Amino acid sequence: MPDLYVVKKDGVAIDVQTSTAGVVGLNEFVDGKISGTGAGTVSSVNGHTGEVVLTASDVKALPDTTIIPTLPGNATAEKDGLMSKMDKEKLDALPVFTFEKVGDA
């Protein structure tokens, strides 16, 4: 049985979260798309047909020889990192959302 949760913003309930069991037929529909005969198959990929082997350029991806630079550390209120310290302060000031279990579906 799926769990039900209430979403709280700064401790005040604002929404109830349900599960896929709440949408009649959804699980069967999704299962039919990802399993069984022909599921996940396509007739062409990026203009190629038949047994397709894609290259990085086919999907506009970086080639596997690309050197990825080292990422900076996490930002704090005192120093820049993956984001600026000013953005980190803004992020820390956002309201807090929590999820509290309230029952079963």
pLDDT band per the 50, 70, 90 thresholds, residue 76: very high
DSSP letter (8 states) at residue 56: G
Domain ranges of the chain: 3-41+51-104
Q: What distance in Å separates the CA atoms of residue 84 and residue 98, rounded to the nearest whole number? A: 26
Let me know: does 72 contact 81? Beta carbons within 8 Å: yes
Whether 1 shows a pLDDT value over 70: the answer reads no
Look at residues 10, 4, 1 and name the one whose alpha carbon lies nearest to residue 93.
Answer: 10
Per-residue pLDDT, averaged over 64-71, amounts to: 88
Listing from the earlier edge strand, what are the strands of the sheet with 97-104?
Answer: 12-17, 3-9, 97-104
pLDDT number for residue 89: 95
Whether 51 shows a pLDDT value over 90: the answer reads no
Per-residue pLDDT, averaged over 13-35, amounts to: 77
DSSP string, 1-39: --EEEEEEETTEEEEEE--GGGSTTHHHHHHHHHSSTTT
Tell me the pairing of strands 3-9 and 97-104. antiparallel
Per-chain mean pLDDT for the chain: 83
pLDDT number for residue 82: 92
pLDDT number for residue 38: 67
Whether 31 shows a pLDDT value over 90: the answer reads no
